[in-house]
């Protein structure tokens, strides 16, 4: 189970480091919204449905912006920053 601190780290990593394909520019706004959720006192289980750690051996995190029906995208270089 992820702690709020881990979610905040993942969120910061994604917004700072993720290279988003040009056709996915709208994901930047989504990530900002997700960041605000992670920093609210009530942020807890709902975060689990949005951020899901994938196989760490492949060094990426899958973020599922399912609430707005957008594609899955990948945060790379995860282990260099947070492991």
Residue 12: pLDDT band with limits 50, 70, 90: low
Token couple for 59: 């060094």
pLDDT tens digit string along 55-76?
Answer: 333 333 344 333 332 333 334 3
Asked if 27 and 65 touch (Cβ cutoff 8 Å), the reply is yes
3 vs 67, residue with greater confidence: 3
Position 28 pLDDT exceeds 50 = yes
Question: By mean pLDDT, which of 13-22, 25-34, 60-69 is the weakest?
Answer: 60-69
**Residues 6+ away with beta carbon under 8 Å from 52:** 61, 62, 63, 64
Q: If you average pLDDT over every residue of the chain, what do you get? A: 44
CA dihedral 74, 2, 42, 77 (to 10 degrees): -30
> Which pLDDT value is given to residue 2?
47
Task: For residues 80 and 62, give the distance between their C-alpha atoms in angstroms, rounded to a whole number.
Answer: 16
Q: Above 50 in pLDDT, residue 81?
A: no
């Amino acid at each position: 189970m992820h702690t709020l601190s881990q979610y905040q780290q993942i969120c910061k990593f994604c917004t700072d480091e993720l290279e988003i394909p040009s056709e996915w520019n709208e994901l930047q706004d989504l990530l900002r919204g997700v960041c605000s959720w992670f920093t609210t006192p009530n942020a807890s289980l709902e975060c689990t449905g949005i951020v899901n750690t994938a196989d760490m051996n492949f060094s990426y995190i899958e973020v599922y912006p399912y609430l707005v029906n957008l594609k899955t995208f990948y945060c790379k270089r995860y282990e260099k920053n947070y492991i």
